Amino acid sequence: MNSLSFAEKLWLKCRLLVEGCHLDPEMIFPSNIHHKKIHLYAHSQEKISRVIPEDILIGIENDNPLICRIRYCSQSNLLIKKEDNHYLLYDLTEQKKYPITFVSLPQFASCQIKGQPLHSICSYLGLDLIGVIPSNYCFYFNHNQQCRFCEILPNYKNQVEYPKAIKDSHLICEALHIALQNEPKLQHIAITTGNIKSYDYTFEYFIKIGQELKNFLSPYVVKHVLATLMPPDNFSLIDQLSQTYFNKVYFPVEVYEEAHFKVVCPGKASYGYNKILQGLDYALQTFGLGHVYTNFVYGIQSLDSDLNPASYCPKKENEKALQAVEGMLARQIIPAFTLYHYSGYNKIGAIPLSVEDVYEFFKQWGELVFASGIVPLDEDAVLFSPLTLSNTLFNDAFLMAKTRSRCPLSINS
């Protein structure tokens, strides 16, 4: 079995998120692991009938493992298998085996609230994050203005666990209270929604949640509480949100070049590209440095105006994505990136990302963000913790850059 440097773990995570993995058909998973469920979207074009884990931990548990989302792909050269009572990630191409472990079920897994399973309100993410999606609705779909990479509504509508489109704020807060009461590992909260009625209405809804959270969660130590939504029309609502339980805010732009943004994000374009940037600048003054984020989708920045998947160019993608990083860091906004994925629902289609270029981009991303000084020096993650975000690479890339700066010979590049 091979011991792994941090860089090798990051490379494996890139492969897992881009190429996916498949499973030994004879293998039986432990009964106490956190199983895969659909939060807002599927993770693969392929369907699998068996229950599989949500995430794996790459590497030995006490040796800085990386957490990674499982994306099932029957044609992948990465295989999860069990051998001599150990679970392994097996690279069929290089004939190498790497140790992995699984995330255990949270202690609130069997809890209920108002006759509903708690997991219909809250989602356990990573090792220490609880997430809530207050609404599975976005008014962009009313006029076919949804972001062209979005897969939320067509997929999620038929598999929704909670029977109403919008969850009551009091119910959300009570559910989070139960989760924190039962699971001591939880340290972070993320609340993310689509647009409800209007931008201001959505913001006012979040303000109500944030105000109620102060009362419900006062007994607990919660480090980061993130609100992800569009900016309001009335920017004074950003001030109000900053006075609630939320201490971080995330206004996703998704596409950096304005002309391309209008093609990819028609609903957001009607709100205004520059107005989103103004909202981010305004939030920086209220939430403070290191607490304001935007998001870009890696894999679609280089597409042509027809959004033809064949127009994806790895080198051009990295060039444009790095321009976005530098542009946002110049504004002192943290530019997070998620990898494009396709599960069969959105307006673009499948894009075969280049693992090598994904890895190279995030290495450079980590160096740039660390060098910016925006993330506090005592943090090992850009958002939440290093073992929280299993479907992104930016926390891992940041930690690698930070570790290299402290001890350049400690991580192989």
Residue 1: predicted pLDDT: 56
User: Which has more confidence, 41 or 237?
Assistant: 237
Which of 51, 77, 102 is the last residue in one of the domains?
102
Residue 61: predicted pLDDT: 65
Confidence of residue 48 (pLDDT cuts 50, 70, 90): confident
- Tell me: do 41 and 156 sit in the same domain: no
For residue 73, tell me if it sits in a domain: yes
Contact partners, residue 262, CB within 8 Å, separation at least 6: 269, 273
Phi-psi region of 339 (alpha: psi -120 to 50; beta: other; left: phi over 0): beta
Distance, in Å, from the CA atom of 171 to the CA atom of 169, rounded to the nearest integer, reads 5
For residue 412, tell me if it sits in a domain: no
Residue 137: predicted pLDDT: 81
| pLDDT tens per residue across span 103-119 | 999 999 999 998 889 99
- Tell me: do 133 and 77 sit in the same domain: no
Tokens of 147: 């972001």
Contact partners, residue 117, CB within 8 Å, separation at least 6: 111, 161
Q: How many domains does the chain have?
A: 2
How far does Cα 350 stand from its chain's mean position? 19
Is the per-residue pLDDT at 125 higher than 60? yes
Residue 376: predicted pLDDT: 93
- Tell me: do 169 and 308 sit in the same domain: yes
Which of 76, 102, 128 is the last residue in one of the domains?
102
Residue 239: predicted pLDDT: 98
25-29, 115-119, 229-233 — most confident range: 229-233
Which of 84, 56, 87, 82 shows the shortest CA–CA distance to 70? 56
Confidence of residue 139 (pLDDT cuts 50, 70, 90): very high
Note down the domain range covering 37.
Answer: 6-102
| pLDDT tens per residue across span 268-289 | 999 999 999 999 999 999 999 9
Distance, in Å, from the CA atom of 189 to the CA atom of 312, rounded to the nearest integer, reads 34
Distance, in Å, from the CA atom of 327 to the CA atom of 374, rounded to the nearest integer, reads 14
Domain with residue 232: its CATH number is 3.20.20.70
